[in-house]
């Protein structure tokens, strides 16, 4: 009986999407090890790891290998990698507190969402059908829209990382200078900034919605 249980546990760990998740972690470790010596290599490896987030989801649905462990692994990998990049950016730009605030918002929002999902008994943190906020429902209800916002956020951070030249630059000045220029980069920055802004709005909405759900759970339990 114990052997069968062990085999079942091992099979989940060896799901194709989870193996992709392990590969993403390895890529991120290599990327951050090279971030100060080879920025282009870091950016390439970091972005490939990020793309893997969409690929593992496709494999999970394709082979019916959706798992709670895989969802948690995915979220932890995303949050940790983004947090590390934001910490690095906080050392390159002023005010660095902006990036630390974004880091705190990102982690708090997703942690609360995941926790409230378990409290409500839902299978996925992306199940927001009962939400009254149209933007929140549109974000999780449309994979292409969500992918655009997530990619846009990471692209903005990668561009800022590649553009950083010293430790006294203003992030607002750097972004304004690049947006004002007529070039492919300015178009990419503008497009990414729009998606980034929506992503931050979603983080705020998500945090408030999840907090409300936690409070409602306590109220229902006391009745």
pLDDT digits (tens, 9 = 90+) for 92-128: 999 999 999 999 999 999 999 999 988 988 878 888 9
What pLDDT sits at residue 30? Answer: 97
Give me the mean pLDDT over the 148-176 stretch: 91
Q: Please identify which residue in the block is written with the tokens 């069968």.
A: 4
Q: How confident is the model at residue 179 (pLDDT cuts 50, 70, 90)?
A: confident
Residues 52-91 have pLDDT tens digits of 998 998 999 899 999 989 989 999 999 999 999 999 999 9
Q: How far is CA 53 from the centre of its chain?
A: 9
- pLDDT cut 90: percent of the chain above it: 73
What pLDDT sits at residue 177? Answer: 87
All domains in the chain, ordered by first residue: 2-222 (1.20.120)
What pLDDT sits at residue 5? Answer: 63
What pLDDT sits at residue 17? Answer: 95
How many alpha carbons fall within 13 Å on the CB side of residue 213? 23
* C-alpha to C-alpha distances, 120 to 3, 10, 101, 140, 157, nearest whole angstrom: 33, 28, 28, 17, 33
What pLDDT sits at residue 2? Answer: 52
Structure tokens at 212: 């409300």
Q: What is the DSSP letter of 95?
A: S
Residues 5-49 have pLDDT tens digits of 666 777 899 999 999 999 999 999 999 999 999 999 999 999 999
What pLDDT sits at residue 121? Answer: 86
Strands (E) across the chain are located at: 93-94, 169-170
Distance CA(64)–CA(84), nearest Å, equals 32
Structure tokens at 5: 């249980």
Residue of 138, 174, 182 lying closest to 157 (CA atoms): 174
Is the alpha carbon torsion for 70, 73, 75, 78 positive or negative? negative
What pLDDT sits at residue 167? Answer: 67
Q: List the catalytic residues.
A: 78
Measured from the Cβ of residue 121, the count of other Cβ atoms closer than 10 Å reads 6
What pLDDT sits at residue 124? Answer: 83
Distance CA(96)–CA(83), nearest Å, equals 13
């Amino acid at each position: 009986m114990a052997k069968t249980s062990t085999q079942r546990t091992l099979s989940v760990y060896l799901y194709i999407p989870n193996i992709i998740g392990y590969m993403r972690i390895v890529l991120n470790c290599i990327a951050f090890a090279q971030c100060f010596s080879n920025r282009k290599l870091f950016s390439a490896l970091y972005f490939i790891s990020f793309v893997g987030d969409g690929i593992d989801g496709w494999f999970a649905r394709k082979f019916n290998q959706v798992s709670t462990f895989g969802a948690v692994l995915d979220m932890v990998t995303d949050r940790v990698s983004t947090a590390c990049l934001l910490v690095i950016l906080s050392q390159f730009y002023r005010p660095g507190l902006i990036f630390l605030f974004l880091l705190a918002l990102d982690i708090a929002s997703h942690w609360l969402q995941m926790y409230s999902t378990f409290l409500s008994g839902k299978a996925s943190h992306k199940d927001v059908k009962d939400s009254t906020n149209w933007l929140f429902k549109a974000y999780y209800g449309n994979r292409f829209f969500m992918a655009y916002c997530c990619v846009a956020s990471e692209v903005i951070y990668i561009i800022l990382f590649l553009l950083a030249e010293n430790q006294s630059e203003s992030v607002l000045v750097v972004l304004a200078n690049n947006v004002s220029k007529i070039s492919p980069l300015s178009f990419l920055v503008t497009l990414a900034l729009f998606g980034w802004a929506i992503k931050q709005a979603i983080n705020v909405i998500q945090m408030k919605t999840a907090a409300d759900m936690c409070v409602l759970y306590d109220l229902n339990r006391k009745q």
